[in-house]
Amino acid sequence: MSHSGFNDSAEKDHMSEIAHTTDGANGEGQTAVKLTRKDFQTDQEVRWCPGCGDYSILAQVQKVMPELGIPRENIVFISGIGCSSRFPYYMNTYGFHTIHGRAPAFATGVKLANPKLQVWVITGDGDALSIGGNHFIHALRRNIDLKIILFNNRIYGLTKGQYSPTSELGKKNKSAPMGTIDYPINPLSMAFAAEATFVARSMDIDPKHLSTMIERLAHHKGSGFLEVYQNCNIFNDGTFKSFNEREVRDDRMIYLENGKPLLFGKNKDKGIHIDKVKPEIVAIGENGVTIDDILVHDENALEPNLSYILGRMQFPEYPVPMGVFRAVHKPTYEQMLHGQVSKSISISGAGDIEKLINAGETWEIN
């Protein structure tokens, strides 16, 4: 596989590959199965607070899963610790509720032990970015075929309301009674820095967009990362509402579409223009600005520089981007690993454990 860009036709090919179950992640030698959303639900009592944004993410994942045509026994959901990490209990697939921050490492072990499994990692801003920051970066960097969804609610919900690595500077909460003095981290910036090959963002209150992003993530081969803005209505209610409420969304958010100019606003008359490295908002028709001045989004660009700039755009200075920032194809870790195994076998012949063990310098004592 080459390092070529990932384009629409390549994606379609890839999707059809999955549909025809020739792909490893689809269960070797099995024909596509017809499942419904119900098949992915469990009898477990969902223990999230009423009104939590997590319900929406669960519903969209359960909606997307049957469309992938993968048998449930070939799917694994792996989580760490936090509210989001209760997710595997609610998916009728294989699931692991693991250690705080360690889900990406655990998932790496699962994927390499059985590459035909489709492996999902469900994590949160605390789990992935504080204690798990290390594992998160290295799972992305290796380009292992993991599908990581980060529920970002900018708070520690499970321990009842302390600030998280994404909490806004100055936010008052139980462990920062005078407001936090920790600068928040941008999860997308981390993913770009770690060379993730798929990076996207969506939100709990836009289920249609969310399901599209989950689907895109599912079809990506390699380390995929989806950040979901998720409202914690108990400990951090309304943290995203200044820009994501329906009434203001058009003017304060921008949906990324590959190959299309970055336009937003009710009438799509505003856009993002890049002058040197700083994005600016321009109005089409004003000051001689035309559609040609608007940055055209290219999620397949090999260098993530422009995506990085887009990923850093925050309200109120900019509209908040939603969508796929980056989708490129590189050989995955497991492909290269098994490539090395095949190569060493082709050079040295099939393995013989006894021969190997007795291959050192040996001598007999008489």
Binding site for another protein (CB under 8 A): 81, 97, 99-101, 130-131, 133, 156, 158-160, 162-163, 165, 174-178, 182
Say how many residues make up the chain.
Answer: 366
Q: Minimum distance between the CB of residue 199 and another protein, rounded to whole angstroms?
A: 22
Nearer to another protein, 98 or 332 (CB): 98
Q: Minimum distance between the CB of residue 354 and another protein, rounded to whole angstroms?
A: 36
DSSP-derived letter for residue 46 is P
Nearer to another protein, 105 or 322 (CB): 105
b (16+ CB within 10 A) / e for 138-152: ebbebbbbbbbbbbb
Nearer to another protein, 136 or 229 (CB): 136
Nearer to another protein, 50 or 177 (CB): 177
Q: Minimum distance between the CB of residue 290 and another protein, rounded to whole angstroms?
A: 47
Q: Minimum distance between the CB of residue 175 and another protein, rounded to whole angstroms?
A: 5
Peptide bond into 316 cis (omega under 30): yes
Contact 15, 70 (CB under 8 A): no
Contact 218, 212 (CB under 8 A): no
∠ CA(218), CA(14), CA(205), 5° rounding?
Answer: 30
Nearer to another protein, 159 or 258 (CB): 159
- CA-to-CA distance for 98 and 94, rounded, in angstroms? 13
Q: Minimum distance between the CB of residue 32 and another protein, rounded to whole angstroms?
A: 36
Q: Minimum distance between the CB of residue 104 and another protein, rounded to whole angstroms?
A: 15
Nearer to another protein, 76 or 254 (CB): 76
Nearer to another protein, 81 or 188 (CB): 81
Q: Minimum distance between the CB of residue 135 and another protein, rounded to whole angstroms?
A: 11
Nearer to another protein, 138 or 209 (CB): 138
Contacts 24+ apart (CB under 8 A), 208-214: 209/255, 209/322, 209/323, 210/56, 210/57, 210/60, 211/60, 211/63, 211/64, 213/323, 213/324, 214/60, 214/61, 214/64, 214/149
Contact 97, 86 (CB under 8 A): yes
Q: Minimum distance between the CB of residue 340 and another protein, rounded to whole angstroms?
A: 33
- Ramachandran region of residue 82, left (φ > 0), alpha (ψ -120 to 50) or beta? left
